[in-house]
Amino acid sequence: MAKDVIIACDFANADQTFSFLDRFAEEKPFVKIGMELFYAEGPQIVREIKRRGHRIFLDLKLHDIPNTVKKAMRSLSALDVDIVNLHAAGTRAMMEAALEGLTRPDGSRPLLIAVTQLTSTDQAALEKELLIEKPIDRVVMAYAENAARAGLDGVVCSPLEAGKVHACCGERFLTVTPGVRFADGEKGDQKRVTNPAEARLLGSDYIVVGRPVTQAADPVEAYRRCVKEFCG
Ligand code: C5P
């Protein structure tokens, strides 16, 4: 499985995004576009970044009834993105419908990965608000298994969970992992962090890196450092 670094382009608008991407003269990094940018700029920003030759992880985390998600995925697959995602909490029926919607008439489709439990949800919220009484790591693994059974390609998880996810869902089941910081860098609001070299050792397939690259004095140099440490 090819390992790669995905830059989280958490920018508010197209101007900021393109002035960032314009710095990369030699490489075409894999980028993640999230809700903030997508809702501000619409599908046109996806088309433009794709036209410039980048691969795209469109991080919109769909969660609705199966029929609605199926049709939304059909719209997203027409955008020719490389990875899309949804919430595993939508159940296997929703995930299977999503795969159906995503698959083009020629059988090709973007990779589809699942969010298990958001890292902002802790054990207390799980029990008191969602009425789920199992330990959160068991919930995460059960959701990952549901995603694998539904035919999805992987999950978003912490690099610290990557080994367990592979053990439970197979080595080919992708682990796409945020929460990455340089060993000598700021943690910011991320609590459980690993550096790119550790993420590689822990078995992450893709690392998602935002601020350590986007806010660096020299983003291209920071990106290259990530690639070197993660991909070896
Ligand atoms: O700037 P930073 O490297 O923390 O960015 C990480 C990216 O990964 C952000 O876009 C964030 O929303 C996303 N993410 C995360 N933790 C999760 C899921 C997604 O940090 N559990």
- In the chain, what is the greatest distance between 2 CA atoms, to the nearest angstrom? 51
Task: Considering the candidates 3, 61, 70, 128, report the single residue annotated as catalytic.
Answer: 61
The Cα–Cα gap between 204 and 155 comes to: 11
What's the token pair of residue 226? 């990530």
Q: Is 228 a catalytic residue?
A: no
Predicted TM-score (pTM) above 0.75: yes
Q: Phi/psi of residue 111, each to 5°?
A: -65, 145
Q: In the structure, what pLDDT confidence band is assigned to residue 229 with cuts at 50, 70 and 90?
A: very high
pLDDT in tens, 54-82: 999 999 999 999 999 999 999 999 999 99
pLDDT in tens, 82-113: 999 999 999 999 999 999 999 999 999 999 99
> Does residue 1 have a pLDDT over 70?
no
Atom of ligand 1 at shortest distance to CA of 181?
Answer: 3
> Does residue 13 have a pLDDT over 90?
yes
211 in ligand 1 pocket by Cβ < 6 Å? Answer: yes
What's residue 189's pLDDT? 84
Q: In the structure, what pLDDT confidence band is assigned to residue 191 with cuts at 50, 70 and 90?
A: confident
Closest protein CA for atom 19 of ligand 1: 178
pLDDT in tens, 138-151: 999 999 999 999 99
28 alpha carbon – ligand 1 mean position (Å)? 20
Question: Do residues 177 and 156 make contact, with C-beta atoms less than 8 angstroms apart?
Answer: yes
Category of 63 on φ-ψ map: left (φ > 0), alpha (ψ -120 to 50) or beta? beta
CA angle 187, 188, 190 (to 5 degrees): 70
What's the token pair of residue 90? 């939508």
Domain boundaries, the chain: 4-231
Question: Do residues 92 and 61 make contact, with C-beta atoms less than 8 angstroms apart?
Answer: no
22 alpha carbon – ligand 1 mean position (Å)? 22
> Does residue 228 have a pLDDT over 90?
yes
Which residues are within 8 A (CB) of 140 and not within 5 positions of it... i.e. 6 or more apart?
116, 117, 157, 161
Which residues are within 8 A (CB) of 16 and not within 5 positions of it... i.e. 6 or more apart?
none
Question: Do residues 73 and 49 make contact, with C-beta atoms less than 8 angstroms apart?
Answer: no
The Cα–Cα gap between 14 and 198 comes to: 33
Closest protein CA for atom 14 of ligand 1: 178
10 in ligand 1 pocket by Cβ < 6 Å? Answer: yes
185 in ligand 1 pocket by Cβ < 6 Å? Answer: no
CATH of domain 4-231: 3.20.20.70
Q: How high is the mean pLDDT of the chain?
A: 96
